[in-house]
Amino acid sequence: MKRIDKIYNYIKQRSNKYTKDDLKSRKGIDAIEISEALKILRNNVNKELEELLSKGKIVRFNGNPEKYFDKNRLEEMLGTSINEISLNLEDVFNMMSSKKNNIDNDPFEYLIGAETTLKNQIEKAKESILHLPKSLHTLIIGETGVGKTLFANKMYEYGKYKGKFTDESPFIVLNCADYYNDPQLLLSQLFGHIKRSFAGADKDRVGALEKADGGILFLDEIHKLPPEGKEMLFYFMDKGKFNRFGETEGDRNANVLIIGSTNESKDSNLIKPFLERIQSNIFIPNFSDRDIDDKLKIIKGLLQNETLKINKPIKITAEAIKALIGITSFGNIAQLKSNIQVLCAKGFLNSINEDGVISINLSMMPSNIKEGLITINARQEENDRLTKLLPTEVLVYPNKNYVSLENDEKQLNLYKIISDEVIILKNEGMDSDEIKKFITADINVHVKCLYDKFKNDKYSKYNLYKIVDAKIIRFSEEIKKYAEKKLDREYNDRILYALSLHLAVLFNRINNIDYEETHENVLDMTLKAPKEYEIAKYVCKEVEKRFGVRMPEEEVLYITLILTSVEEKNKKGKIGILVMANGNSTASSMVEVALNLFDCNNIEAIDIPFDVKPREIINIAKEKVEKVDNGRGVILLVDMGSLVKFGKILSEETGVKIKALGMVSTPTVLEAVRQSEANEMNVDRLYDYLKSFKGYYSYGEENN
């Protein structure tokens, strides 16, 4: 037998006898042990160990001294494949300790912070579930993105673990914010309604409360309940009885544990009634208030989620981790998750043709995330602790036994989207560098826009309800269904957004389109689309009847245009839109709403810190202008008059026609995106139109 085979067999036999505890105490097999056991010179042992490492037979555990282990045995212990030859034992132990949750395990055990910053909250949650004779209704309080929904899910799982619930017990979720602008609809969603209780109620409906009988009803953003809804909910919590909306006789019974969540401050008047009536109140801390160990575990956990999608290990530098921690503020864990997804997508794209590790480092980060490193450096104590805790690089492996931080089982596979796009672009003859540039420009849109679309567009509709009167949206939904039936065609929700926003503008008495200039083009389209033209006439009659608004004759033509073009892609390219505003997230927040509402890729944001130099802003803006320009010019929307002058500078330095407009608002951004779809609209006309735009909401305000 060859010397190398003797050494490998020895390592293999010793590794097969190891348990998890053995690995923790002895940490593998070192060269001295092998040399003494096999009577082989130490130098020769080291030589053969390097050969075995290069062949992928064994792995090396970093330390002093370095130790070795059979790769197959370690993969068996971890339940996943390993692509690296050198590992940190701490990462291995973390992977081993992650077990799949089941009825035999306390689900809170796997929640990051269970023994640190969430210990008291978990104890209170357990007391609420186990309270006799009935579990206590609970209010979970915390800022956006801290993990309130995940915590509520853990309460549900703990109830099953302790026998309070069964596998058949429902866990029903209702986000009150989805309907907060329409109290009648919200009450119907929550309590159900009876036939003819309001216009459009053509049959009885079971509400979320009845569906949750025997389990938990999670009311997200519970503070959005209208006063009538609060009283009905409090009555149910006291008596266990309720009525459907419109029902006046007879109480219905249900056995439901109410868990509410809110991002309002405990001092807010909106949640004071809930604090007084709900016995158990649990406060979830912000990410910034979590223990440093928790922060690192959360980042590793979110990276672990991505490794499972990519099926590749991810390597991230200490500086990159510090930047992610430093930049995570208002958005908390949700913001951190979004940033990590963007970085992993970029790393995946960079290694699309390689089999190795996905790398994340500071140089690949966008400037807004890099700023987090400056923030951390300013927090000296936290920076010093992170420096001590973090190795130069952290390696995270895919582990199929890992308990995911994701709430939902369905996850958007961004990496498959990227892979498919690469194949398509290669087939079109595009080279690798061009492909990377092309797809990199889409990654942020995929993460922010497509991920929301994957969740049934509920966030998109929520944003629409915030700016357009609910009656207009409901009417537009009816028209969508009517048109689909008449045309035997299925529209996506873009027609809902287009029609709702168009009617909102019309009701606000804004001359939103130059009919004389577009009349001929639109009329030509009606000749090609007579069915859509007839539906448009019906729409105009219904608008006049329901809203008491006199419809101009040209509206028939314009609604025909919406019906025929809303599903078509703009062949001429869209006018580019660049939003610039002072502050850390002012511009990006407005653009995010647009991305959630529209399937658009012609808009970018620049958040401007107050201490940045003008030349730096211009350099960043030049890149953004070139990114959004499709040959039709760019509209620059800014928040302060002093930034308007950047339009002329950018136009001169890029050669792109740019029109700058001050006093930007979210409705202005949305209207700019919506109008940029029109092939007839050029950048000058869009600029003139936006100058006179007054918003969407006057109709709703007049009728409240």
- CATH label of the domain that carries residue 78: 1.10.10
484: in domain: yes
Whole-angstrom Cα distance, residue 296 to residue 302? 10
Structural element, H or E, at residue 141 = strand 138-141
653: in domain: yes
Q: Does one domain contain both 695 and 621? A: yes
What DSSP assignment string belongs to 185-230? HHHHHHHEE-TTSSTT--S-EE-HHHHTTTSEEEEETGGGS-HHHH
Q: Does one domain contain both 136 and 193? A: yes
Up-side HSE of residue 274: CA atoms within 13 Å toward CB?
33
Q: Does one domain contain both 308 and 431? A: yes
545: in domain: yes
**Residue that finishes a domain, picked among 242, 260, 285:** 285
- CATH label of the domain that carries residue 240: 3.40.50.300
| Residue 7 pLDDT | 95
Question: Where in the sequence is the domain holding 515, given as residue range(s)?
Answer: 460-565
571: in domain: no
Strand order in the sheet with 216-220: 171-175, 216-220, 257-262, 138-141, 280-283
Instruction: Give CA 237 to chain center in angstroms.
Output: 33
Count: domains in the chain: 5
From residue 569, give the alpha-carbon distance in Å to each of 216, 562, 578, 662. 44, 13, 21, 29
- CATH label of the domain that carries residue 595: 3.40.50.510
Residue with the two structure tokens 């629409």? 464
| Residue 505 pLDDT | 66
**Residue that finishes a domain, picked among 260, 285, 310:** 285
How many C-beta atoms surround the C-beta of residue 619 within 10 A? 11
Token representation of residue 663: 């006093």
Q: Does one domain contain both 162 and 265? A: yes
697: in domain: yes
Check if the beta carbon of residue 220 is closer than 8 Å to that of residue 177: yes
Residue with the two structure tokens 């440093």? 292
Token representation of residue 652: 């001169």
Q: Does one domain contain both 131 and 50? A: no
| Residue 563 pLDDT | 80
- Reference 660, options 615, 699, 614, 691; nearest CA is 691
Percent of the chain as helix, strand, coil, to the nearest 5: 55, 10, 35
- Reference 281, options 257, 299, 262; nearest CA is 262
228-240: pLDDT as tens digits:
889 999 999 999 9
| Residue 406 pLDDT | 52
| Residue 515 pLDDT | 37
Q: Does one domain contain both 398 and 434? A: yes
**Residue that finishes a domain, picked among 285, 315, 340:** 285
Q: Does one domain contain both 360 and 314? A: yes
61-102: pLDDT as tens digits:
887 788 999 988 887 777 666 766 777 777 677 666 544 434
493: in domain: yes
Q: Does one domain contain both 378 and 420? A: yes
> Chain-wide mean pLDDT for the chain?
80
| Residue 577 pLDDT | 96
Q: Does one domain contain both 303 and 438? A: yes
| Residue 199 pLDDT | 64
Residue 64 CB partners (closer than 8 Å, separation 6+) = none
Q: Does one domain contain both 421 and 515? A: no
Q: Which residues of the chain have pLDDT under 50?
A: 98-103, 407-412, 445-460, 509-523, 525, 567-571, 698-704
| Residue 16 pLDDT | 87
| Residue 459 pLDDT | 39
Q: Does one domain contain both 556 and 582? A: no
Q: Does one domain contain both 127 and 275? A: yes
